[in-house]
Each structure stands twice: as structure tokens, then as C-alpha cells.
A = this chain, B = another copy of it.
Amino acid sequence: MYLGIDGGGTRLRLALCDDHFSVIHQREYGSANPSSIGKEAARSLIQTAIRETLAEASLNESDIEAVGVGIAGVSVEHSAAWLEAVMRDVLTRPFIALSSDVEIALVGAHGQRRGVLVLSGTGSAVYAVNSAGQATMVGGWGYLLGDEGSGYWIGLQALRLFTRAADGHPLSPQEAQSRLPQRTAEQLQFNHPKELIGWLYGQPMTATARVAGLAPLVLSEAEAGDMCARAMLEDGAKQLAEMAQTAAALLREPDLPIAFAGGMLAGSNVLSRSLCERLKLQEFPVSKYPPVVGAPYWQNNDWQNGLLRTTKS
């Protein structure tokens, strides 16, 4: 039996899998990111989550052969050692493999540590690994520096059209015909455009999620024929495709298989279809496993790259 832990930026997911990587039991919690909720709260949440997941499945620590963990923010140096210590408190015996959230997503999606992962959720990035195990990341610099094609970026395009319309800027015919500014004001329940400032900057910690919350509106307006919404999504897909092509070119392996991850690419929509077209995919890529199942996948492979550390008790 394996335990997978997916510590993304906004959610903590745990899954117990059998030896064939079928999920036996699964749980989801809020963010366990120590940068947002503090180290003590993160420690407590992770340990509780592990105990609860095992208890609900009527399992003991000794039933778990290996644990795989993927965590966001691997550039933060302390993360791996700290997380290992947190886990060792409640899981003294199993083999533990620590990796990043993009690594487990790629491994899960492809069922192997080779391929391209185009990720668009609240943020965006392309992560890729070639046959020699060399990895590269394109994008992933966060919301201030781009996150092109992400839910945040798409929501921001809607807000920028909203502010340009409110300012009385000259608009293109396409922009002038768009219902997006009006629909944005309705969704956010603004009586006056300037209310946007308080809405956006008033609670900075949740601003990216709230902006990304406008992306479904852009998707539905595009489906309904709004050419301006469609142009925003085409632009986002173009930039994601360029990131994927850059990653494959850097790894000198143009035929790497491509997978999608993140809420914006989870199903067929204007963004994901445009991306498929630009990447010349014959069909919509379906992931083999979710990231949380990709996490324990490490234990039966001898991939060395991509691991932050492995420990045996």
C-alpha cells in the first residue's frame, strides 16, 4: 500500500493506493503551505491529515510501504528538510520520497518520468523531462511576472478590459461589442467601477484566487460567441503553446508526449481546444493518474533526478 501526498499551493490532497496504483481512499484539505498559514499550522494540518486518512481506511503505519510527497515552492530551501521532519513524526517506518508539485503532476499524468506537462490553474508553467532525465521549467514565475494563459491571467485580461472601458479609452469594435465589462461588473456586484480597487487590493492574500475566479466567465462568454473573450483565450493558448515548444526545444526532444494539468485545462473548453490545435495534438490528452497518485510512483523507480530527497527509517 502506498500513500500519496499532493501539497499544492491551495490544497492538500492525500490518497492511499494499492500496488497497482488504484486509489483505495482519498481526502482533501485546505492549503498546507507554511508560507501562507505558518509553519506550526502546516505541521499540525499535515500530521492530522495523515492520521485521519490512515484511520478512515483502517490502516496502520506498518501497512504503508512507501510515501510520495510533492510540494509547491521547492525554491524555498528549507521546505524539504522541514517537511520530512514533519512526516517522520507520524510515519516513522515507510520509505519517503520528496519531490515537487510539478514533478508528481508530470509523473502522474504520463505514468513515467518523461514528457511535457502544460499546467494552467491559478498560475501557469510548463515542466518537461526528456529521456535522459534532464528537466526544464518554463514560466512558473508567479502572477506578477506573467502566468500567461493561467486562470489569474485570463481573469486579469477581463479586468483590464473593464478598466479601459471605465476610463473611456478608445476601444476596438470587438472590444466595444463585448459583454465582458458589463458581465464582470454584475458578477462582482459593483455599483461603480472604482469599487474594483478595494475588491482587488483590499485582501491581497486572496487576490490571485479571486481574479482567477473570473476565468470561467471569460470561458463561457467565449463559448457564447464573444469575440473579445475568445481573443483573450487564443492569446493565452498561444503563449502556453510557445512555452511548451520552448521546453521541448531546450531538451532537444521534439516528440515528447504532452499532458495537461490544472483546472483551466481539466476539460474541453476554448482555451484547451486552442492549445491542442496549436500543439498539433490528435486528441485531447488524458492524464494517466492525478498528481496525488504520481507522488508514490517514485518508490518503484530508480529515477534520481527530480527527487528532493529519499529517506528510509
Where the two chains meet, the residues of A that have a C-beta atom closer than 8 Å to any C-beta of B are 75-76, 136-139, 141-142, 144-146, 156, 159-160, 163, 167-170, 194, 196-198, 200-201, 204, 207, 211, 242-243, 246, 249-250
Given A141-B197, A144-B200, A168-B249, output 17 extra A-B contacts at Cβ < 8 Å. Answer: A75-B194, A76-B198, A138-B167, A138-B168, A138-B169, A139-B167, A142-B197, A142-B201, A144-B156, A145-B160, A145-B200, A167-B246, A168-B246, A168-B250, A169-B242, A169-B243, A169-B246
Cα–Cα, bound, A170→B239 (Å)? 12
Task: Report how far A250 CA is from B204 CA in the complex, Å.
Answer: 32
Cβ-closest chain B residue relative to A74: B194
Chain B neighbourhood of A198, CB < 8 A? 75-76
Contact A141 B75 (CB under 8 A): no
Q: Which of B144, B163, B170, B250 has a CB less than 8 Å from the CB of A141?
A: B163
**Which chain B residues border A207 with CB–CB below 8 Å?**
144
A interface secondary structure, majority: helix
Q: Give chain B residues whose Cβ lies under 8 Å from the Cβ of A146.
A: 160, 163
Chain A to chain B contacts (Cβ below 8 Å), 19 pairs: A75-B194, A75-B197, A76-B198, A136-B168, A138-B167, A138-B168, A138-B169, A139-B167, A141-B197, A142-B200, A144-B156, A144-B201, A145-B156, A145-B159, A145-B196, A146-B160, A167-B243, A169-B243, A169-B246
Tell me which residues across on chain B come within 8 A of A246, comparing CB atoms: 167-170
- In the assembled complex, the CB of A211 is this many whole angstroms from the nearest CB of chain B, namely 8
What 3 A-B pairs are tightest by C-beta distance, nearest first? A138-B167, A141-B163, A168-B250
CB proximity of A242 to chain B, nearest CB, Å = 8
Could you tell me the distance between the alpha carbons of A170 and B245 in the complex, rounded to whole angstroms? 10
Complex: A138 Cα to B93 Cα, angstroms = 62
A159 contact set on B, CB distance < 8 A: 145
Distance between Cα atoms of A172 and B138 in the complex (Å): 18
Q: Residues of B contacting A204 with CB < 8 Å?
A: 204
* CA A204 to CA B142, docked complex, whole Å: 13
Q: How far is the CB of A250 from chain B (nearest CB, A)?
A: 5
The CA of A92 and the CA of B59, in the complex, are separated in Å by: 73
Specify which chain B residues have a CB less than 8 angstroms from the CB of A211 in the assembled complex.
144
Complex Cα spacing A65 to B109, Å: 73
